[in-house]
Amino acid sequence: MRFWGAVAVLLFAGSCLAQETIKIGLITDRVGISKPYSEPATEGAIFGAEEINRKGGILGKKIELLIEDDQSRPDISAALARKLVDQGAVFIISLSLSPATQQQQTVTMEAKTPQMTPMNSADYLTTQLDNPYFWQTGPLGSIQIATLLAHARAKNFKRVALITDNSDLGQAIAKAFKGTLEKAGIQIVADEVVSRGATTAMPQMQKIRAANPEAMFLAGVLTAENVLIFRAYKELGVKFPIHSSYNLSVPIYETVAKGLVNGVTFVDAYDPDKPEVKAFVAAYKKGTGKDSQNLHGYGYDGVMLIADAIRRAGSTDKEKIRAAMQQTNYAGVMGAKGMKYSFADGKRAGFDPNGMVVRVYEKDRQGRVVHVGTK
């Protein structure tokens, strides 16, 4: 009898000692087409969670990241969102494709669970569904083109070419580009698409050359296909300036497109001179021994934003977190100097429209910032 009493006491004591954790779900892609972006972003998120836990966690409890792999398959993505909700996640971070994030939204809306994507930039994510539990802090396609255009305004373009790929994000960003360009009274004289798996972009570039544009806007997000475009550009010897989407901010272009991208301007949500960035890069190197890139910052900011919301909510109640998230006013790693994430007027896209910078490739490296914001 006394033996069982002792066991009971031990078990009871054990359960008291076992700390409760704050569960945050994370859906990423480890094997599919989103892997080049999802992988570093996930590493950044994991680093962020570990950093918070080292400093004592949130509200005295440690963060537990529940990581799921949706293989870029939207039907699995929705099921995984449900799994995370069932496991008690109070927030879900979506680090996979935009359609997968969309699919997860139908679940989080029904389950009244907060969800956010720090990286997806498709405009339709906050407009297609009216989901009060979803926030998007990635740099929207519409912000990208507005920033690019502001930088190029001095050149006074009237006729430009637009080129993209046939991925869903590439098409979404091209749509945003097209809308803004047309509204600014600029004529799009050529509108081309490079398919995934193409062996060359020569016919598209020839068509663009024949239309004689003053500049070319690149909305594509598939790195290999963008490299095809740059090769064709060089082979055809055309000279018009190229303005590119944020995909060019991925550092791999420095190696895989060496010699091809000097002079290309691109929008980025990352200013290497920003103090928060410098602090992050140093901390990441110290903590993991590895170098970081801008993609890590998206994941890191995502976790930080969630932690900030939970702290302000003062509890793990999903409704309180929702209200607190909507009141976010936070300066993260991404964004121009001084930019803060915020969701004004009940909007759910939180990246400041003036928060992107335009940078240019110089000497095969990602170079200086030449423009900030949309003024």
Partner 1 sequence: MQDLLELAVGATASGCIYGLIALAYLLMIRPTGIINFAVGEWAMIGAFGGYVLLTKYEWPYPAGMAVVVAFLCVVGWLTERIAVRPLIERGAPLLAPILALLGMLVVFRETISVSFPPDPMPVPFAFEIQDQKYFIIAVTLAVFAGAWFFFERTLWGKSFEAVALNRRAAALMGINLTRVTAFSFAAGAGVAGLGGLLVAPNVSAQYLMGVPLAIQGFTALVIGGVGRVEGALLGGFLLAFAEQLTIRYAPIPGGYAQGVPLLFLIVFLLVRPSGLLKAKA
Partner 2 sequence: MRWLAAFVALSGAAFLMGDYHNDVYRKMLLWITLALSYNFLFGICGQVAFSHFAFYGIGAYSVVILLFQLHVPLPVAIVLGVAVCILVALAVAIPATRLEGFYLALATLALAQLFVVVLNEGGAVTGGTGGIANYRLPAVFGLQVKGAWYTGVIVALLLGTYALLRRLDHSWFGRACRAVRDNPEAAAAMGVDVARTKVVAFALTSALAGMAGMVYAFVDNTVNPPIFGLENAFLLLFMVIVGGAGRHAGAVIGAALLFLLPFFLSPLVGHHHVLVFGVLVVAAILLKPKGLIGFYDAIRRS
Which of residues 56 and 203 has its CB atom nearest to partner 1 in the complex? 203
Q: Which residue has the tokens 């396609």?
A: 141
Token pair recorded at residue 335: 């964004």
Answer yes or no: are the C-beta atoms of 107 and 40 closer than 8 Å. Answer: no
Task: Give the chain's radius of gyration (CA, Å).
Answer: 22
CA dihedral 275, 277, 279, 284 (to 10 degrees): 180
Burial class (CB in 10 A: 0-12, 13-18, 19+), 337: middle
Q: Between residue 246 and residue 305, which ones bind partner 1 under the rule CB under 8 A?
A: 250, 252, 255-256, 258
Binding region for partner 1 (CB under 8 A) out of 230-238, 275-283, 309-317, 324-332: 230-238
Order of strands, sheet of 21-28, starting from the edge strand that comes earlier in the sequence: 62-69, 21-28, 91-95, 115-117, 134-136
Report how far apart, in Å, the C-alpha atoms of 74 and of each of 15, 87, 93 are. 38, 20, 15
Conformation bin of residue 240: beta by default, left when phi > 0, alpha when psi is -120 to 50: beta
Contact window for partner 1 (CB under 8 A) among 44-52, 132-140, 185-193, 327-335: 185-193
As a whole number of angstroms, the distance between CA 185 and CA 335 comes to 28
Query: 82 is in the binding site of which of partner 2, partner 1, none (Cβ under 5 to 8 A by kind)?
Result: partner 2
Q: Compute CA distances 293 → 82, 109, 269, whole Å.
A: 31, 33, 12
Does the footprint of partner 2 cover residue 106 (CB under 8 A)? yes
Residue 108 contact among partner 2, partner 1, none, beta carbon within 5 to 8 Å by kind: none
When CB distances are held under 5 to 8 angstroms depending on the partner's kind, the choice from partner 1, partner 2, none that residue 21 binds is none
Residues 151-170 that bind partner 1 (CB under 8 A): 166
Residues 17-36 that bind partner 2 (CB under 8 A): 30-31
CA 313 to CA 326: how far, in whole Å?
Answer: 11
* Contact flag: residue 199 with partner 1 (CB under 8 A): yes
Please work out the total of residues on this chain that contact partner 2, with binding judged by CB under 8 A.
Answer: 36
Nearer to partner 1, 98 or 108 (CB): 98
**Is 200 a residue that touches partner 1 (CB under 8 A)?**
yes
Question: Does 206 participate in binding partner 1 (rule CB under 8 A)?
Answer: yes
Q: Which residues bind partner 2 (CB under 8 A)?
A: 30-31, 68-69, 71-76, 78-79, 82-83, 85-86, 97-99, 102-103, 105-106, 111, 122, 124, 128-130, 166-169, 171-172, 175
Q: Which residues bind partner 1 (CB under 8 A)?
A: 31, 33, 35-36, 39, 166, 171, 191-193, 195-200, 202-204, 206-207, 209-210, 223-224, 227-228, 231, 234-236, 250, 252, 255-256, 258
